[in-house]
Amino acid sequence: MQSNGNFEFIVKSKEKQIQLVFKRHVEVKTQMPGAYIRHWTRYVRIAEPLQNVVVQEGQRAKFVCKIDVHDLDLPRLKVTWRINGRYWSPDTSREGHLTGSGNIIQEDGFVDLDDSPDDIDDLEEMERSGNRRLVFKQDRGWHTLIVRKTRVTDSGVYSCIASVGRDTDMSSAHLKIHTAPDPPNNVKVASCHGNSAALSWEPGQEYGNKVIEFQVQFNTSAQPDVWHDFDERFGAQTRMVTLALYPGLTYSFRVKARNILGSSKPSAPTSRKCTTPPDRPHGNPRNVRTLTGVKGMLVIVWQPMSRLHFHGPRFRYHVRWRRHGSFKWNDQYVDDPAQGFLDVETNDVYQVYDLHVKAENSMGESNLPAYIYRGHSGESEPLVAPSNFSLNPDMVLEPHTAHFMWDPVDLDTKFICGKFRGYKLRYWVSKEGFAKKKEVKIAMSEASEEGGDNQSPVKVALSDLPAYTSLQAQVAVINTHYTGPFSKLLEFFTPEGVPSAVQDLRLQAYGVAYVLLKWRPPDQPNGIIQGYNIAYQQVFGMSLGPTKPLLPHINDPSTLGARITGLRPEHRYRFIVWARTRQGSGEPNFVDMTTAKGKPPKTPRIQVAGLGNSSVNVTWMADQASPDVKYLVEYRETGHSEWHNTEYVFDKSWLMLDKAQVPGSDMEVRLVASNRLGDTATSRTVAVAKTLKNTGGFPKAPIPDITLHNNSGEKLQHNKGRPSKSASWSSHAWSVIGALLVLALYSRVFQQ
């Protein structure tokens, strides 16, 4: 074999000698008749060795094996993984998982080299749950072993073995699992004397992270399922400690170790138990106080003591109380150690009492004196009501805020019948009645009342009131649990404010150049609605143009919609609507929309001719570019605001009106063109006298303005009128003949 890895062979025969140099894979035909040489180098190499892996328990570990081999040797390449001496060989083109049985599941064809029980015991232990944790992957020359949800038992040596025939290369690395330590071993009671015990132990496995400290726990025969921690922690080098114990209990012990990753499981409890002799209690109940919510009762409460502090059998509480200033104590025993209260009937109201609670057991009372606490018997309803309850004349009554004032009450406990806590203000809308009242507590203390001038009135502001509403209010004094009698009733009326936003603002219809908006009145008008204001903004991507008001404003509060014309096709707009009272505009509401694609109808040009004094002939030039446009004629008596209209026509360019439909002698006429989307264009208005002459010419119509609509969608002017009515067609034969003559006359005009 040459130094560069190639092989050199000498082949001799009678005819000649041939020297061959094989590079990885060589096929050679000699000059010898029938001689043919074929040879594989069996060259395989692990290009990148495995790297040691250190992970915390539960994390994923990954080993990557980079193998170099000639392409022609790939079919003969075999990759085997060895885990702590056990061999596993996945199919090099597939992926698989290890199952709880220790076999590699043939999920795309994995095969176990040696499935004997001796080889799979450790792997069965790794995967008793049946979850798949070992995953083998292969991508070209990269071979990967992944261990999911690592456990301490996964630690060890992992090897990648690559072979082509007898040519083999191997790389190994270590997997180290960092986890909490094992619990200490051999925990035992070395000695037990009086109220102390000596405990010893040996440390468990550390798994790469040194133990920081040990935690000793204990339980008692009275509560064997409850384990308590000793307050003291013991250093990593500690192997024996002396523990101070509570009297009158039987103990077992266990120990836990802790490193930077957490605490171990507790050790097994000590087999030897330690019993301490009984003694008198060394303390008394804490947090002794009274509750004042029950009339005529002195309710004494405290925090029951822990079982660890009983120190002996027949533990109980000795409760004493007396009226403050008296020298005679009353007492009673509470035999239940878990009970933390005693009710005593006193038949008085919020009187001061001295009290203390002492612990005792069969050995005697606590060796510590009990503190004397001060408390009160139960409260009752206050006896006084605030006087001179009124609106504060120095403050302006606002739409949503009222300012009240009243004289302070006498804070003597015989009037308050408890601890003074402030006042309660209740109010309701007059028309809704007392059943829908609302209450507000005004917290105050005796110090705040006494700290100021007791002769100065109490002043309070109440907000969130409904505007433009008749309200009634009362005030009363309160203690901790009860409310006193209320003051005299005060009735007041809040002024008008601005309304809330209009409700249900929506698009009823829209077209190329118009939009029809609809809405409902504000939920909170806060006054009398005078009308509505409308404005719009153009929308440019994510930005908005300037706000432009639409005039005229709507001054009829019953008008709950508006038709807005003159818009540009395929443009985005934001329309904003406000309700309005005498105090101004309220909160805005808005809706965004995009106009339709297309063109609005052109403004029609009309001519009007009278046919005698009984009929009027209206003619126009149809919009040839928009075949879907339809027309109707609107007419009204001169000087009136209400328009009447005919039905729409599609295939005509003239209409005749009967002047008898209009009571007066003079009338006004105009033509409205409309497309399929509802866009409209209106011609100029033509006045028709009793004796009509030709109007002639086609002047340019003005740009249409905002048109208002009522609830039903009927078109309105600013002054409300009667619903529109359709005109009847003239049935007079001479009118038809006259119309034909006029059409012939005007056809010549249109041609010019």
- Residue 536 vs residues 454, 502, 551, 572, 574: alpha-carbon distances, Å: 58, 16, 11, 10, 5
CATH T-level topology, domain 286-375: Immunoglobulin-like (2.60.40)
Domain ranges for the chain: 7-40, 48-178, 185-275, 286-375, 387-493, 503-594, 606-751
Cβ proximity of 319 and 354 under 8 Å: no
Look at residue 98 in the predicted model and tell me its pLDDT: 39
Partnered with residue 9 across adjacent β-strands are 20
Q: What CA–CA distance (Å, rounded) separates 620 from 608?
A: 9
Helix/strand/coil for 309: helix
Which residues are within 8 A (CB) of 456 and not within 5 positions of it... i.e. 6 or more apart? 408
Look at residue 453 in the predicted model and tell me its pLDDT: 55
Q: What CA–CA distance (Å, rounded) separates 683 from 685?
A: 6
CATH T-level topology, domain 48-178: Immunoglobulin-like (2.60.40)
User: Which residues does the chain have with pLDDT short of 70?
Assistant: 1-42, 91-131, 447-454, 611-613, 623-627, 659-665, 689-752
Q: Is it true that the peptide bond before 552 is cis, omega within 30 degrees of 0? A: yes
Half-sphere exposure of 207 (CA within 13 A, CB side): 27
Cβ proximity of 674 and 601 under 8 Å: yes
Look at residue 11 in the predicted model and tell me its pLDDT: 52
Q: What CA–CA distance (Å, rounded) separates 376 from 419?
A: 10
Look at residue 723 in the predicted model and tell me its pLDDT: 34
CB atoms within 10 A of CB 347: 9
Q: Which amino acid is at 2?
A: Q
Helix/strand/coil for 392: coil
- Tell which residue, 263, 285, 471, 250, has the closest CA to residue 365: 285
* DSSP secondary structure, 565-623, as one string: E-PPTT-EEEEEEEEEETTEE---EEEEEEPPSS-PPPPP-EEEEEETTTEEEEEE---
Dihedral, CA of residue 332, residue 335, residue 340 and residue 345, to nearest 10? -30
Task: Give CATH for domain 503-594.
Answer: 2.60.40.10
User: One fold for both 387-493 and 606-751?
Assistant: yes
User: φ, ψ for residue 409 (rounded to 5)?
Assistant: -95, 165
CATH 3.40.50.2000 fits 185-275, yes or no: no
- Residue 32 vs residues 14, 23, 64, 678: alpha-carbon distances, Å: 10, 22, 48, 101
CB atoms within 10 A of CB 382: 22
Look at residue 532 in the predicted model and tell me its pLDDT: 96
Which residues are within 8 A (CB) of 369 and not within 5 positions of it... i.e. 6 or more apart? none
Look at residue 612 in the predicted model and tell me its pLDDT: 64
Question: Domain 387-493, what architecture?
Answer: Sandwich (2.60)
Look at residue 8 in the predicted model and tell me its pLDDT: 52
Four-way CATH pick for 606-751: 2.60.40.10, 1.10.10.10, 3.40.50.300, 3.40.50.2300: 2.60.40.10
Look at residue 12 in the predicted model and tell me its pLDDT: 53
